[in-house]
Amino acid sequence: MNTLPIGVFDSGIGGLTVLAALSRALPHEDLLYLGDTARVPYGTRSPETVTRYSARVASHLYRRGVKALVIACNTATTHALPTLTAAGAAVGVPVIGVVKPGVDEADRVSRGRHVAILGTEGTVRAGRYQAALEARGLRAEGVACPLFVSLAEEGWIEGDVPRLVAERYLGGLRGGPDTVILGCTHFPLLRPIIQAVLPGVMLIDSAEATAVATAKALGEAGLLRGDEGPGRRDFLVTDNLERFITVGRTFLGQPPEPAMLVDLDEAVGPFHEPPAR
Ligand code: DGL
């Protein structure tokens, strides 16, 4: 079991920010990433549709064999975490989402007890982050920043265009929350711009927080691999492999390879034999 990869799932490319954080926190683990590029974006879809798509991806990864599943997508975690956790429990796979780690970190660092969550339309409208923050006694507000997703994928992460967009979305937060959760996989790329618009505000990267939470959860479950050299990273996508590799470079700092196309409904066996070490 310990030699199986950790499954990492996102609607497309953005989850590579979570994969990068996982690689840093768990350098000896094999990571198997699946980006559902045929159905991206999830952020504008209904909770029911996102849950259906997410369940299909998770089931594919369970059939390939993963020892844990990280939902590296805020929108998918927001809508589908209970469904995926139940399906994971049925096959003995722990499931970790990105919402709780970000909320835990905000709770830990917020001095003013006032937190804003930035996300996709779906994440903000569902209010799961806000409810979790309020349950900790924090004041919470959500701001949907859908254009940040396109800007990050376009590579427009510095200069006038993203600064004006950030000013428009976030200018109203000045003087309000002391802590802001980057509650979308794409937003860490825009961190310098967001910080420039909100100087002095504590920014929480839910990708980093999730990687730390995953390492802790696997350690507690006795599922960590020892130091047997660097883990491997493999990438699966459901459409447009070339774009994934090209755009993915911005998110990962290097091309996400080896990568291949998959059909989620095809019969699959284990992704790879544990490599000889
Ligand atoms: N991965 C999504 C998230 O973190 C953003 C992209 C999408 O809308 O699918 O919410």
pLDDT of 149 strictly over 60: yes
Tokens of 106: 């905000």
pLDDT of 276 strictly over 70: no
Cα 229 to ligand 1 centroid, rounded to whole Å: 32
Report pLDDT for 266: 80
pLDDT of 97 strictly over 90: yes
If asked whether residues 51 and 188 sit together in one domain, one would say no
Q: Which atom of ligand 1 is nearest to the CA of 73?
A: 4
Count structural domains, the chain: 2
Of 206, 221, 241, at which residue does a domain stop?
206
Contact 42, 53 (CB under 8 A): yes
CA–CA distance, 194 with 200 (Å, rounded to integer): 11
The answer to whether the bond into 230 is cis (omega within 30° of 0) is no
Report pLDDT for 277: 42
Please list the residues that pair with 6 across neighbouring strands: 31, 68
pLDDT of 245 strictly over 50: yes
If asked whether residues 42 and 68 sit together in one domain, one would say yes
Convert the pLDDT of each residue in 34-72 to its tens digit.
999 999 999 999 999 999 999 999 999 999 999 999 999
Report pLDDT for 270: 66
If asked whether residues 197 and 218 sit together in one domain, one would say no
Q: Which domain holds residue 103?
A: 99-206
Residue 277 lies in a domain: no
Neighbours of 114 (CB within 10 A): 16
Cα 77 to ligand 1 centroid, rounded to whole Å: 10
Report pLDDT for 107: 98
Backbone angles phi, psi at 167, to 5 degrees: -60, -40
Convert the pLDDT of each residue in 80-94 to its tens digit.
999 999 999 999 999
Packing angle of the helix pair 241-252, 16-25 (nearest 10 deg):
50
Tokens of 205: 């990267």
If asked whether residues 159 and 236 sit together in one domain, one would say no
If asked whether residues 171 and 76 sit together in one domain, one would say no
If asked whether residues 197 and 235 sit together in one domain, one would say no
Q: Which atom of ligand 1 is nearest to the CA of 146?
A: 8
Cα 186 to ligand 1 centroid, rounded to whole Å: 7
Residue 40 lies in a domain: yes
Contact 120, 75 (CB under 8 A): yes
Cα 187 to ligand 1 centroid, rounded to whole Å: 10
Catalytic residues: 73, 184
If asked whether residues 197 and 215 sit together in one domain, one would say no
Report pLDDT for 103: 97
| Atom 7 of ligand 1, nearest CA residue | 41
Where does the pLDDT of residue 268 fall: very low under 50, low under 70, confident under 90, or very high at 90 and above? confident
Residue 276 lies in a domain: no
Contact 122, 50 (CB under 8 A): yes
Residue 1 lies in a domain: no
Report pLDDT for 269: 65
State the average pLDDT for the chain.
94
| Atom 8 of ligand 1, nearest CA residue | 43
The answer to whether the bond into 162 is cis (omega within 30° of 0) is no
Report pLDDT for 272: 57
Q: How far is CA 50 from the centre of its chain?
A: 14
Report pLDDT for 227: 81
If asked whether residues 104 and 225 sit together in one domain, one would say no
Convert the pLDDT of each residue in 155-196 to its tens digit.
999 999 999 999 999 999 999 999 999 999 999 999 999 999
pTM of the model: 0.94
Name all residues whose Cβ lies below 6 A of ligand 1.
10-12, 14, 40-43, 73-75, 120, 123, 149, 184-186
Tokens of 273: 């034999």
Cα 217 to ligand 1 centroid, rounded to whole Å: 24
If asked whether residues 217 and 90 sit together in one domain, one would say yes
CA–CA distance, 35 with 38 (Å, rounded to integer): 9
Neighbours of 236 (CB within 10 A): 26
Please list the residues that pair with 139 across neighbouring strands: 114
Mutate to test the pocket of ligand 1, among 37, 39, 42, 49 (most ligand atoms within 8 A of CB): 42
Residue 81 lies in a domain: yes
Contact 74, 42 (CB under 8 A): no
If asked whether residues 166 and 39 sit together in one domain, one would say no
Report pLDDT for 222: 93
Report pLDDT for 275: 45
Mutate to test the pocket of ligand 1, among 9, 11, 123 (most ligand atoms within 8 A of CB): 11
- Residues 207-214 have a mean pLDDT of 94
What Å distances lie between residue 113 and 3, 25, 57, 70, 198, CA to CA? Answer: 41, 28, 36, 28, 17
If asked whether residues 221 and 201 sit together in one domain, one would say no
Of 172, 191, 206, at which residue does a domain stop?
206
Q: What residues have CB less than 8 Å from 242, skipping those under 6 apart?
A: none
Domain with 131 in it: what CATH number?
3.40.50.1860
Mutate to test the pocket of ligand 1, among 19, 53, 73, 251 (most ligand atoms within 8 A of CB): 73
Q: Which atom of ligand 1 is nearest to the CA of 44?
A: 8
CA–CA distance, 132 with 81 (Å, rounded to integer): 14
CA–CA distance, 231 with 28 (Å, rounded to integer): 4
pLDDT of 206 strictly over 80: yes
Convert the pLDDT of each residue in 106-141 to its tens digit.
999 999 999 999 999 999 999 999 999 999 999 999
Of 191, 206, 221, at which residue does a domain stop?
206
For the chain, the straight-line distance linking the first and the last C-alpha, in angstroms and rounded, comes to 16
Residue 165 lies in a domain: yes
Residue 267 lies in a domain: yes
